[in-house]
Amino acid sequence: MFEKVLIANRGEIALRVARACRELGVQSVAVYSTADAESAVVRFADEAVQIGPPAVGRSYLHIPSIIGAALKTGADALHPGYGFLSEDPYFAEICADEGITFIGPKPDVMEKVGDKATARQLMSAAGLPLLPGTVEPVNTLDEAHDISGEIGYPVIIKAVAGGGGRGMSVVHREEDLANLYQTTRATAQAVFKDSAVYIERYLETSRHTEIQLVCDSEGNGVYFGERDCSVQRRHQKLIEEAPSIHLNDDTRREVGEAAVRGALSVGYTGAGTMEFLLDLDGNLSFMEMNARIQVEHPVSELVTSVDLIQEQIRVAAGEKLSVTQDDVLPLHGHAIECRINAEDPDRDFAPAAGKLDVYVPPGGPWTRVDSHCYPGWTISPFYDSLIAKLIVWAPDRDRAIDRMQRALSEFQISGRGVKTTIPFHQRILDHPQFRSGDVTTDFVEQFMSEEAAAATAAG
């Protein structure tokens, strides 16, 4: 096992990793910008190094400072968390060069799976289902015409280098293809410095379903069931749950095994997620792979009883996975996560950060709060607006919703200028369609227009 792990991140995930280190008996090193000098992880970690000013370009994204901190403290491993440098092959390579174990896949593997087109090729080769479309970039308009014709409209043109909903256009009619093909390439070139695009069938409506997996360096892989993350606003996840009530045990095993096979086929090591779209007929299509731990990992932990961060650190240290596939299946009960953000739902989710004069998290049975906040902490405008991840577990989905409503009802957060998404979460959880579980990725949009309509009607 490692002696000392440097955590190249901030906020709740930095604290989450530091907690895992403490429980494993591993020393932890926090790095922080001047804006985070009073942060929870700085207080909790065994050591802390100030690496730069608030601007991420000179702190959490500034490789020399982070490597410097690792060398200064003699850390033998580095956990990147999510975001920031977590999926940067170049950074992973530098860690290797400096003799620091990067807790994640090998740089070359990370690069492969990070490239959408390559990932699609590899995973389709490994037997994962894809949407009808190309796995190769589409380089000419004629090609685009032929392919779109074959697939059948609507189709979606996606930048190979894109992500998070950026660099994609939906084409409903053939006559729009030429124009959208050109503009998408142009945008891709401008935004991602890479004009390559591919084309696939566009699903009007579907569910975001993702498989969590962990592979060790001995070629063992285990999938930890799936998460449904269909409650999104502009591709930002708001509520995640595990398991998905739309997968039966057979489908789960099928896609889970395929996902592990795919990951092992490219020599993947560490924790990763395979994203799928689940259409209304129950067909899964592979979208992309995320080569990092994800924000929503706790719901998978609660239904599998496995600490995924500890597992991630173990396998990075060259240890064997501590569990087998049979240990984690069948999934145990139901877990839901709400992401509580410092945003004002009534003002189009505008950031509403500030000092938290009051911060009283919920407690009690099967109620988990992953947060870096405490009374007096200031949610800084320099970084994301996540205040807390509120996660509950219950024997079934209905009781999990009831428990989440209870927990949300006791969460007290206030401060000058601070607004949270708690009321929005409460209204979504109250919605009969959410209760029924029949939620697709366009649910939040519908929900918001329903509310807008009701508001107008009301007055």
Partner 1 sequence: MPEPKKSESANQELVRAVWEEARDLIKRLEGSTVQRFSVEAGDTKIEIERGMPAGASMVAAPAAAMAMPAAEDGAAGEPELDGRHPIKAPLVGTYYGAPQPGAPQFVQVGDSVEEGQTLAIVEAMKLMNQVQADRAGKISEILASDGDWVEFEQVLIYLEAAE
Catalytic residue numbers, as ranges:
292
- Residue 334 · residue 241 · CB < 8 Å: yes
| Three-state DSSP class for residue 244 | coil
> Is residue 17 involved in binding partner 1 (CB under 8 A)?
no
> Of 188 and 335, which has the nearer Cβ to a second copy?
335
Specify the length of the chain in residues: 459
Greatest alpha-carbon pair distance for the chain in Å reads 65
> Of 366 and 382, which has the nearer Cβ to partner 1?
382
- Residue 45 · residue 30 · CB < 8 Å: yes
> Is residue 335 involved in binding partner 1 (CB under 8 A)?
no
| Three-state DSSP class for residue 425 | helix
For the chain, the C-alpha Rg in angstroms (whole number) is 22
> Is residue 87 involved in binding a second copy (CB under 8 A)?
no
**C-alpha span between 185 and 198 (Å, rounded):** 10
Output the smallest distance, CB 352 to partner 1, in A.
Answer: 10
The answer for residues whose C-beta is within 8 angstroms of residue 341's C-beta and 6 or more apart is 349, 384, 385, 386, 387, 420, 421
**C-alpha span between 113 and 109 (Å, rounded):** 6
> Of 355 and 427, which has the nearer Cβ to partner 1?
355
> Of 10 and 403, which has the nearer Cβ to partner 1?
10
> Is residue 120 involved in binding a second copy (CB under 8 A)?
no
> Of 64 and 363, which has the nearer Cβ to partner 1?
64
> Is residue 364 involved in binding a second copy (CB under 8 A)?
yes
Give the amino acid at 239: I
> Is residue 368 involved in binding a second copy (CB under 8 A)?
yes
Q: Which of residues 327-346 bind a second copy (CB under 8 A)?
A: 332-333
Identify the bridge partners of residue 378 per DSSP, sorted by sequence position.
Answer: 355
Output the smallest distance, CB 378 to partner 1, in A.
Answer: 5
Output the smallest distance, CB 379 to a second copy, in A.
Answer: 16
Stretch that binds partner 1, among 118-126, 152-160, 174-182, 411-419 (CB under 8 A): 411-419
Residue 369: Cβ within 10 Å count: 18
Strands 343-344 and 350-351: antiparallel
Using alpha carbons, list the distances in angstroms from residue 349 to 112, 218, 230, 439: 35, 45, 18, 21
Q: Which of residues 79-138 bind partner 1 (CB under 8 A)?
A: 94
> Is residue 422 involved in binding a second copy (CB under 8 A)?
no
**Residue 68 interacting entry, from a second copy, partner 1, none, C-beta within 5 to 8 Å by type:** partner 1
Using alpha carbons, list the distances in angstroms from residue 419 to 4, 42, 387: 38, 25, 11
- Residue 171 · residue 154 · CB < 8 Å: yes
x-or-dash string of contact with partner 1, 341-360, rule CB under 8 A: ------------xxx--x-x
x-or-dash string of contact with partner 1, 49-88, rule CB under 8 A: xxxxxxx--xx--xxxxxxxx-xx----------------
**C-alpha span between 245 and 225 (Å, rounded):** 12
Residues at the contact surface with partner 1, assessed by CB under 8 A:
33-38, 49-55, 58-59, 62-69, 71-72, 94, 353-355, 358, 360, 374-376, 378-382, 412, 416-417
Residues at the contact surface with a second copy, assessed by CB under 8 A:
15-16, 19-20, 22-25, 44, 298, 301, 305, 307, 309, 332-333, 360-361, 363-371, 374-375, 395, 399, 402-403, 405-406, 409-410, 412
